[in-house]
Structure 1
């Protein structure tokens, strides 16, 4: 049995049940006798059915003994978990568990917490305010909400992505598998005799981050995770290639402990919380050991759980870099996986959408129900217009790397994106006071604070599936500057959407761990990695690239940033694209030896062109706005 199929405790019973001819089957819990047994789990059309009473469900609070003493009081920390399970589990029914772990269970009222500060990741949460219990308990699951160390009523210290967070959750999974002990509020033993030991984790934002973090331990019992808008690297969450995101202050992670640590931990863990801040700032905005320990992509080889990734393409909090780079590692290690990209921001789409996609996934991985989920398309992508596409694999097999070079004015822009390198240079001077909406406006007009490059008007749809890379060869007038790139969808010269963003501290052009000052006047090369996206540039639109330095809405400003000169031709954009076939042009092709007079129409480079007066050997597309040829659009 492979590691990715788990232990499948119910495989024998389910295989027998699913071989029956009836469309609805009853699966008896392992060890139950046929006569007088409690109701079994009902499966119809490959999905568990809501046959258990939520009103009669058992609710209990347990305190699980962990294997750590993070607050140094000489006693192992206990981790609080609230449990809801079908009433039938009090007899012989055994069920799998859905675990949601979080730092956000507050012991204050929501109003009191909001009167001080609300963390941008999530609002204060009260237990059982989500949808997991209402959906899964009636279908024959236990649902657990876990308060990680130093939060809620759990003992110990919050570590903001560190080992204590992870061990809080593994303690609960161990308890569900009989490997750890727990007590109830009255001190009596709490034994999870009702548990099959199979666990799935679900969570949004930090809660989903915990699922990702725990999965890399390969712990026995964790069969699948569904991280929604989750972090896979705390470095990439707070920083962009050597420079901090504007959303987060320099000691953001230490500040998180002050907002979400419980009262006891703020007293007992004060030195440790100071250490969190010291760790995150030890290397400035550069990478270092603190963030190496909070990178959950570097040990994907240990992951034995399947992964259903969910992320919003407009998520500017937990940026799409988090799922994109994690997905690459899952693919490299052949982890069973699925992807859902919705077109909203930092939200749980399943609050408003049908939840059966998650339910069927859990049914398959926790109860071994042969419902075909792994035979379905691997990826689902929502488009801005409300349509939805599916892909057998992601990125689509038709995706290829397309190189476009930074060129001089053309295509209606102050700069152009060309298929072949063209020599020359252009300059900008970093401002930092220009809003992003202004930065991307009017790409045909040269501006001192940015450079703008446009592709030709597209003759066919170009689908971006992945991360764009911008390689810039430049000289700087100062020893330090950020390089910021915006990939923009333009229609008729106006911005339709900023598709992806990225920034590089040019001092980190060679290493994220070591900053090397620039030599003014000397040429350097750096690569800006943009956020991965799945986006369609339709026929008639243009792909645009904006280059600048400081962009204060996006990154912390570098006060030393000044004038930057970009070498055209040597600088380029690498885009993972699927390019649809272009329609054939019906008009005669332009010929440099032919003579054309007013109103003659030709085709050239995928566009139709009309002559305004007599011309010969003047190439359409090169004569400018007031030249002989008028662009009639793509053909």
Structure 2
């Protein structure tokens, strides 16, 4: 044997763990030797009503050594996007109509030009994890790509499909070489330990799988996951679009992803989209109901036992930061191992590779690397690299205390936002006009289309950590009105890049008609004052000295809400309105005394 061959033979062909992380193994790096194949896993549901269990399309990428008896854990991603989505068609709902009115009918899209995903569904994650000693698996969601079934956008089959794949990886479900054949495929090359990850919809599905409590799913890392379709398409009773997708709703997303077998489209469209979704989504009132409750994973967490590392951006106005926090808080309270990583940018953004590696190494290789003793929260500070988060004991920061700020008059320019509550501030009014964006309203020196209340100039940095809330007492000139709130840092500054705006601290929306119940709205009596309290989006941000914190109250939000005719007048009782901020250091940190 030559020295070179001898040296090659000495290289390890098993996973190598160092400093609590799986290391790149040269033997696993040779892409030419990777074994790649696809199969179909049979589920226990029939969501396209063709009389037989749906089968989902799965691909596998694994090192050659798995053919020689080596068993490895699995990194698994599932998605409705792999085979393509709708493009070039305006399928969104029109938003230019009065509140409470039936919206104009929307267009349905042409058939998706489906990409061929056999035998390779996707190449995501393979270059990262296969060299480190993991098998990588992908699957297409029901009703997408070469998977059978119907897309349900949060329905039970979207949880049960990845469960079936994990069951197959553990020998509890059948895999087949073809979609309709009987030749079985076994996963003899895996330990059965599975970790899931993905971004956006692909980040939602790991959580969906985990809510089934399936054995073998050891850890999940959801990135910017949509954890409740109500919170994605509604806000406190208000019909509100995700940022960047004005007029999108759950049936639009159904059409966007439905790339599956065209033979079953008629059933899926009529039953799922045109009946279940049409009857449940309620685009007229925006009220919460059983349809939405069934698509909220917070209501399904009891069986979950997989360790959870959530990842999200505080400036994600598509899938907003509350989606990860609400799940993190709940699973932590259940005693499930949990950590959260937040950055200051927009949609997407996984944790640093080292953090993910420690997480998967701990729970998939069963290596005691003490990851469970790491700080619970990792926050990327404002000017830091996303790979260098600052560790904190928890999120929100345990040193944050609620600080209540009160309003003083000043419309149509700026009123005050003070620690001391005064009486007799009276009322101030704004006139709704969707023609102006929120950022334009925030920068206006003088306008009757918003109310603005600001703190004195900050002398020291103010660290906000947690979920702000507002209590507002208001009256409307009409029976229905949009209500929008934005917390800003003034004076307005240019953003560091095009993906974020430094000035927006957080924001929120609500329907005053739901002031008593999220499930039951009631028409407002014009001129009558109502009080409602609701949360804004969670945040962790340090506002620098020299800035002022501003509370902007307005009605229609051009980028997010419906666009009724301008002219609705909203009157705010300043004495009955207050803002509560979670501030590290409490009142002392915001006092200029």
Tell me if the contact between 1:461 and 1:580 (Cα under 8 Å) persists in the aligned partners: no
Unmatched 5+ residue regions in structure 1?
Answer: 1-35, 584-604, 608-635
Separation in 2 of the partners of 1:514 and 1:580?
Answer: 36
Moved more, 569-578 or 552-561: 552-561
> SS in structure 2 opposite 1:518?
coil
CA contact (8 A) 2:488 2:506 kept: yes
Whole-angstrom CA distance in 1 between matches of 2:394 and 2:23: 30
* Partner residue of 1:146 out of 139, 150, 156: 139
Q: Deviation digits for residues 236-259 of structure 1, max 9, x if unmatched?
A: 001111122244576732232323
Distance 2:482 2:460 in 1: 34
Give the alignment of 1:233-382 within 5 angstroms.
233-247=228-242, 252-261=249-258, 262=260, 263-272=262-271, 273-282=273-282, 284=284, 285-349=286-350, 355-382=353-380
Matching residue within 69, 94, 100 for 2:46: 69
Farther-moved stretch of structure 1 (323-332 vs 426-435): 323-332
Gap change, CA 1:68 and 1:518, over 3 Å in 2: same
For 1:513 and 1:141, how far apart are their aligned partners in 2?
A: 46
Q: Secondary structure at the match of 1:439?
A: helix
What is residue 490 of structure 1 aligned with on the other side? 490
| Other structure's SS at 2:49 match | coil
Q: Is the Cα contact below 8 Å between 1:481 and 1:560 reproduced in 2?
A: no
Match of residue 18, structure 2, among 44, 49, 66: 44
Q: List, as ranges, runs of 4+ consecutive aligned residues in structure 1 with deviation greater than 6 Å.
A: 123-126, 492-495, 580-583
Structure 2, unmatched stretches of 5+, are: 1-9, 93-112, 495-500
Distance verdict in 2 for CA 1:357–1:68, change over 3 Å:
same
- CA deviation string 1:391-439 (max 9, x = no partner): 12111110111100111239x9621111122232211111111112211
Mark the CA change 1:264 to 1:142 in structure 2 (over 3 Å): closer, same or farther.
farther
Residue matched to 2:221: 226
Pick from 531, 535, 538 the counterpart of residue 532 of structure 1: 538
Distance in 1 of aligned mates of 2:168 and 2:410: 65
8 Å contact 2:233–2:250 — kept in the other structure?
no
Cα pair 2:382 2:542 within 8 Å, conserved: no
| Separation in structure 1 between the aligned mates of residue 574 and residue 393 of structure 2, nearest angstrom | 38
SS in 2 for 1:499: strand
Residues 423-572 of structure 1 aligned to structure 2 (within 5 Å): 423-424=424-425, 425-442=427-444, 445-491=445-491, 496-559=502-565, 562-572=568-578
Give the superposed CA RMSD.
2.8
**TM-score for both structures, normalised by structure 2:** 0.85
* More moved, 198-207 vs 328-337: 328-337
Whether the aligned pair in 2 keeps the contact of 1:66 and 1:79 (CA below 8 Å) is: yes
Taking the aligned partners of 1:41 and 1:538, their CA distance within structure 2 comes to 47
Q: Which residue of 1 aligns with 2:62?
A: 85
Residue aligning to 1:163: 156
d(CA) in 2 for partners of 1:510 and 1:176?
48
Count of residue pairs brought into register by the alignment: 539
Q: Is the 8 A contact 1:251 1:277 kept in 2?
A: no
Whether the 8 Å CA contact 2:402–2:586 is kept in 1: the answer is no
Q: By how many angstroms is 1:468 displaced?
A: 1.1
Equivalent residue, structure 2, for 1:574: 580
TM-score (norm 1): 0.79
Quick one: distance in 1 between partners of 2:183 and 2:12?
Answer: 26
Instruction: Give 1:195's match in structure 2, choosing from 176, 190, 197.
Output: 190
8 Å CA contact retained: 2:175, 2:184: yes
Higher RCO structure, 1 or 2 (CA under 8 Å, sep 6+): 2
Q: Hey, what's the Cα distance between the residues in 1 that align with 2:582 and 2:150?
A: 43
Specify whether residues 463 and 167 from structure 1 end up closer, same or farther in structure 2 by C-alpha distance, changes over 3 A only: same
CA contact (8 A) 2:413 2:447 kept: no
